[in-house]
Amino acid sequence: MGVGSLLNGSVSQEHSRTQAPELGDLGIPSEPDSREPWFVFEAHDARCLAEMLQRFETAVDRVVKKARTPESAHRTG
């Protein structure tokens, strides 16, 4: 049984597309569509939630860092 939605579509599509791969790298599967809700289930205890939120924060930090980095730094080769 879901107990709530963490995201409710208030995040931009571009932000979701850039953050989804970062979340995936951290073990949190995520749809790149900001309209897709996230649910927290009763089976998730406080430790699980704290770990997920820490990973989410790390993903946000990575996206912000990339956004502040000049475009040429993202290119390879």
Band of pLDDT at residue 67, cut at 50, 70 and 90? confident
Domain that holds residue 38: 2-67
- Whether 35 is covered by a domain: the verdict is yes
Locate 51 and state its tokens. 């770990």
Residue 61: what pLDDT?
A: 92
Spatial separation of the C-alpha atoms in residues 61 and 10, rounded to whole Å: 19
**pLDDT tens profile 25-62:** 998 888 777 777 777 677 778 898 899 889 989 998 99
Looking at the structure of the chain, the number of domains it has is 1
- Whether 12 is covered by a domain: the verdict is yes
Asked if 38 and 7 touch (Cβ cutoff 8 Å), the reply is yes
Question: In 3D, which of 77, 50, 53, 74 has the Cα closest to residue 63?
Answer: 74
Spatial separation of the C-alpha atoms in residues 55 and 25, rounded to whole Å: 10
- Whether 16 is covered by a domain: the verdict is yes
